[in-house]
Amino acid sequence: MQGKTVVITGATSGIGQVAALALAKMGARVVFVARDASRAEATLTRLRAANPQEAHSFHLADLSEIAGMKQSAAAIAADAPKIDVLINNAGAMFGARRETADGLERTFATNHLAYFVLTNLLLAPLRAAGAARVVSTSSMAHQGMTLDFDDLQGRKRYFAYAAYGKSKLCNILFTRELARRLEGTTVTANCLHPGFVATRFADSSDGWLRSLFQLGKRLMAISPENGARTILYLATAPAVAGKSGGYYVKSKPAALSAAAKNDADAKRLWAISAALTGVG
């Protein structure tokens, strides 16, 4: 990773921060997107300590809002004209249904559209780097989920875990369609399930959902260091060079649900996302 540039979202805590620091120690320059300035400054300090030779940087944005995503992408492209690895990692689960300033359900906007907008607007610097990689954090929570294209925003019915699982299904369908569109180029796209990790995830959820996840994290969760391993594998391993469109668990290709292999749905989701955001 010496001399390479990595762009990552969700790098101020959890598996994203572990991955960012590990990549910096390997020699990479890390550019990350954050919502909170104080947490971003703290992460930047750690990156500089891990690799003081590179000009690490961050850009502030609310990745649930389309304008913020676009502004962040434009700033990153100016900051990093060549991107070797883009890691879409930021995600959240919300206990109650709320809409963004764009009138979109927050889970769908944060967990799917942020990946969609950033990746599409950073394709030029990814192509400029040569053999670049797009790595997106999905989840095994996609299992058992299907997309209702008449209610992607959950206006008819909303359940927090289902909204999250469907957004993770969107991550896989996005990866598959992106890989198809990138065929014949030097840019690959893969996604992963990191495991059930002890991080700040779901801490902003409400009531019983937050309590349930806090209990689960105490009893069953793996460490952020273990959770970041598959991200690092897909970002750096020679074994996946040139491989695209895959879904990985514990650094190995893993089985998908029937819904996650539906390429017609992947194309339809792409078209809807492009219409909502004006990119892609």
Cα–Cα distance, 98 to 219 (Å, whole number): 30
Residues carrying an active site annotation: 164
Q: Which two tokens stand for residue 148?
A: 């209702």
Residue whose C-alpha is closest to residue 136's, from 94, 183, 75, 178:
178
Residue written as token pair 């930021």: 90
Q: Which two tokens stand for residue 90?
A: 């930021």
Cα–Cα distance, 142 to 247 (Å, whole number): 11
Residue written as token pair 């997107």: 33
Cα–Cα distance, 199 to 10 (Å, whole number): 11
